[in-house]
Amino acid sequence: MPSVPKAMKYTEKEIYRAVGTKGMPTWEGEKALPWVIACITGMIRRRPPTIMSKSFTSEEHVF
């Protein structure tokens, strides 16, 4: 997100419009934040928080 300043500004504006400057977004306000949800979904798609593949190793120690 920091690499695309226009997208970051748009996201901030959407949050301020939906929530204001004194609050935090709630799950009830999710429908008012489509751009933020899309950014989060895209980030998770590009950089998943879990390991996608299993590391294959031998059960024997080979020196």
- Across 48-52, average pLDDT: 72
| pLDDT (0 to 100) of residue 34 | 92
DSSP string, 5-62: HHHHHHHHHHHHHHT-SS----GGGGGG-HHHHHHHHHHHHHS-SS-SSPPP--SS--
The two tokens of residue 31 are 């429908």
| pLDDT (0 to 100) of residue 56 | 59
Domain coordinates in residue numbering, the chain: 1-17+26-51
- Across 21-26, average pLDDT: 81
Residue 60 has pLDDT above 80, yes or no: no
